[in-house]
Structure 1
Amino acid sequence: MTDLTIFDPDVVAQYRISTQDVARVKQYVRLLRGDSAPELQDIARGGEVGTRLLLNRLVELRWLLTRDPLLLERERHEVEKLIADQQEILERSRSLAEAALLGLIAKRKRPWETRKVIRYRLIEKYYPGEGWQVWGTLYENCSGMFPQVKVLIRAIPDDDRRTGRHLDRRIVELDIGIEDGERIVDPSYPIRFRVLPEIRTIEGASHHEVRTRLWEVIFEEMEKRRAERRVEYDAPEPTYVPLRERSEKED
């Protein structure tokens, strides 16, 4: 079992990295690079280099698993094809992870920096044939920009920009806050959304850190829902005991 203490503790805490995550990353690297890949040795040593490699591969793997839950059971060429198809999003995810790592390093150099507690709510989108799935978050505006806007949206980039602009317009026009966030839903819009009632909180020293953490929250919720769907509840079948009618002779 991998000792998590060899990695940066702040990264482990922020990304909720478990020993199972490390094992999956190693399996993923072996699938792509082979058992003797130098990357495996660097991850096994931990430290700054190992943490950076682990984090980059982890955010990449988490996203790919939302596209294909059986990814680690596929052939190498199948995984490479999925990576090519998701290249734009993966590059963005890796950039966010790298920026988050640099932000954590910078934060340790600025111990006086206060952390903000931001409220947010999950947004779900209806996918035909799949049902309601986590799509993004509605969170309090902590950007320091657009003071007239109370909330902002953080979501997976699976829709065209018109959807984002439509929701942003409703936030501004209806003066939507976190408490009445469900008003963002437009019944006449062709794409169906809903805002879950639970108001959660998240911490961050900056708007960038909050957005990075919300990105992880979305992925974590996706993985959680996927795991729940895999659980099968086997209902016991009723047991029928044949009863032989007694004949008159037996009486």
Structure 2
Amino acid sequence: MIELRTPAEIEQMRAAGEFVASTLTALKERAAVGVNLLELDAFAHELIRERGAESCYIDYAPSFGRGPFGNVLCTSVNDAVLHGRPHDYRLRDGDLLSLDFAASVDGWVSDSAVSLVVGRADEADLELIAVTERALEAAIAVARAGNKVGDISHAISTVATEAGLSVNTEFGGHGVGRTMHGDPHIPNAGRPGRGYGLRPGLVIAIEPWFMHGTDQLVMDPDGWTLRSKDGSRTAHSEHTVAITEGDPIVLTLRAG
């Protein structure tokens, strides 16, 4: 069921968005060569406790995963792109790391993701990250009342196609509110002018993610981590966005 929020409720959601944004900023600063993925997860857990927030991941057990997830942070490295389960791995020079984090504050959820390179960066990795960020910006620009979900999807796929990338539509954006995943589903490719009409009060997570050499996924034995089928690098960017009578509000906008 698609739920619309009042302007007052969207204001209440800002606290969750700010917390998720600040946590990802702190995690980016902490990620470095030699840091263990489990250390990043523990740090995120500590921030959740300090804020009095609740994790959206730790007890999450959807049909597509081998749940419950058991951690508070998704850490996807190199060819891993989604749902990367933290494990005993120390980051190495040049690793491409995607961090996906969702939390609830005062009963309202926000969800966001960011990709970065640890240590010395390969230009191809930086460009892949930049493509996901450009796709996210293009999608947010059309996330306006009167447009359709297909306009968001088409904006994302257009950026990907221009960069020579193919798009997987198995996982994409989604509604956000009292829970992390709700309707509508927002695939990363679609036809403009099609799908659910965007209305003021709709709050959605928009999340372009791309793989450098394929559009096919494979799952790790952990039952969660999804990787590119050909082992190519991957990147993921995501924001929680509120549709209004005017400009969209990016609830998870990070400082800087």
Fold-level similarity (TM above 0.5): no
Which has the larger helix fraction? 1
Greater Cα radius of gyration, structure 1 or 2: 1
| TM-score of the pair, normalised by structure 2 | 0.25
Which has the larger strand fraction? 2
Higher RCO structure, 1 or 2 (CA under 8 Å, sep 6+): 2
| TM-score of the pair, normalised by structure 1 | 0.26
